[in-house]
Amino acid sequence: MKKQLIRTFVLFALFLPGVSFADGEHQVFELGNFQLESGEILPSAFLSYVTHGSLNEEKDNLVLVPSAYLGDHHGFDFLIEEDKALSPDRYFIVATDMFQNGYSSSPSNTPRPFNGPNFPTIEIRDNVTAQYRLLTEIFGVSEAAAIVGFSMGAQQAFQWAVSHPNFIRKTVGICGSAIEHPHGSVRLEGFKSAIMTDAGYMGGTYIEPPTIGLEAGGTHWAAWGTSQEWFRLGLYRDMGLDSPEGFIEFFQTFVKSWDANNLIALAATWQRNDIGKTDGFNGDSEAALASIKSDVLYMACETDQYFHIEALKWEAERIPGAKFVVMPSLWGHMAGGGRSADDAKFINDQVTDFLDANN
């Protein structure tokens, strides 16, 4: 079983954000002493990213691709190919890492006094602020062709559309929301608790990884990542696994590859996501949705257990002119990352048509 699991992990990693073997080397943008929305200063902050393609002379072909939870700057590599939606021959793609994912400033790589559980509170808007500085200060652009995000990447995409309404021409949000609705927050609290109740977690001051808690967290993701029908029909066999237990062990191994404090901090950022908290909206999420000016492709998966389709439809109806598309997949939330060939093709076709429209 162990040999089979290792083989499956290597093969499936080609399609899972955060474990890609793409060739791109990540770069680092030094942010200096970075003021967060909370008012705290994160000293010597930095933003990790990779680029694909070239910025054209007009500087109007940039596409921003922010990372997802349990992912990194390689999460959309399946779309970044010559004949795909985000062709480097056509676009200049900038794929960024969120704070707290281990590449950009995170609990795991920040020195005292902000290391580990002492890392300051990060909001989705803090990520957007850092990305805005990257695009304007390093690449000198005043607008971007598009932003494409999955899961927490979609959260960043919608926040961009609110925070900088005249900067992004087209916004694509896949299996993610502009607001974290109550059930999603409760689910994430369960995941955090699975790690934090491990005695080895020690309030985040652990010396060795809290393995028991991380394995419990992996079990959580195994239960929620796909769908009930996915399990009933045995679609885990498409990953080279023989049983649901093999899928659990796969996710346990994957989650154990992450730092516990990074996971908890990222989950807390996810829980607080709400575009209504943007300056000027006083908590009015509907008004923030209505303020979006960019063209929007809002894509949901019909079996997503993280981002319920009715909540996403409710949001899309409040964005002027938004195109709402439902992905017909049994792969649940994982469909949004192109987990199966059918899902990858569906996403590629939808994003291609959307980016090509009115251009």
**What is the CATH T-level fold of the domain 16-182+274-356, as seen in this structure?**
Rossmann fold (3.40.50)
Average pLDDT for residues 166-187, to the nearest whole number? Answer: 98
Q: pLDDT-derived band of residue 24, with 50, 70 and 90 as boundaries?
A: low
pLDDT at 13 over 90: no
pLDDT at 349 over 80: yes
pTM of whole model > 0.75?
yes
Of 31, 115, 23, 34, which is closest to residue 74 (Cα–Cα)?
23
Q: Which of 14-28, 70-84, 133-147, 323-337 has the lowest mean pLDDT?
A: 14-28
Cα separation, 74 vs 65, whole angstroms: 9
Q: pLDDT-derived band of residue 52, with 50, 70 and 90 as boundaries?
A: very high
pLDDT at 26 over 90: no
Known catalytic residue at 151: yes
Known catalytic residue at 242: no
Question: Which one from 97, 126, 274, 304 is the annotated catalytic residue?
Answer: 304
Average pLDDT for residues 194-216, to the nearest whole number? Answer: 98
Provide the percentage of residues in the chain whose pLDDT is more than 90: 91
pLDDT at 340 over 80: yes
pLDDT at 18 over 90: no
pLDDT at 265 over 80: yes
Cα separation, 122 vs 47, whole angstroms: 13
Token pair, residue 241, equals 């696994």
Of 161, 102, 175, which is closest to residue 131 (Cα–Cα)?
161
Buried b (16+ CB within 10 A) or exposed e, 262-292: bbbbbbbbbbebbbbbbeebeeebebbbebb
Question: Which one from 151, 294, 329, 340 is the annotated catalytic residue?
Answer: 151
- Predicted pLDDT at 358: 82
Helices 182-196, 260-271: crossing angle, 10 deg rounding = 160
* Domain ranges (residues) in the chain: 16-182+274-356
Backbone angles phi, psi at 341, to 5 degrees: -60, -40
- Are 332 and 340 a contacting pair, CB within 8 Å? no
pLDDT tens-digit map of 96-114 = 999 999 999 999 999 999 9
Average pLDDT for residues 142-152, to the nearest whole number? Answer: 98
- Are 147 and 273 a contacting pair, CB within 8 Å? no
Give the position of tokens 């890392």.
119
**Segments of 114-267 assigned E as strands:** 144-150, 168-174
Question: Which one from 74, 164, 220, 333 is the annotated catalytic residue?
Answer: 333
Average pLDDT, the chain: 93
Contacts for 345 with CB less than 8 Å, ≥ 6 apart: none
Give the position of tokens 């990257």.
134
pLDDT tens-digit map of 214-260 = 999 999 999 999 999 999 999 999 999 999 999 999 999 999 999 99
Known catalytic residue at 183: no
- Predicted pLDDT at 112: 96
Of 105, 122, 129, 118, which is closest to residue 44 (Cα–Cα)?
105
Helix (H) or strand (E) holding 336: none
Cα separation, 344 vs 335, whole angstroms: 8
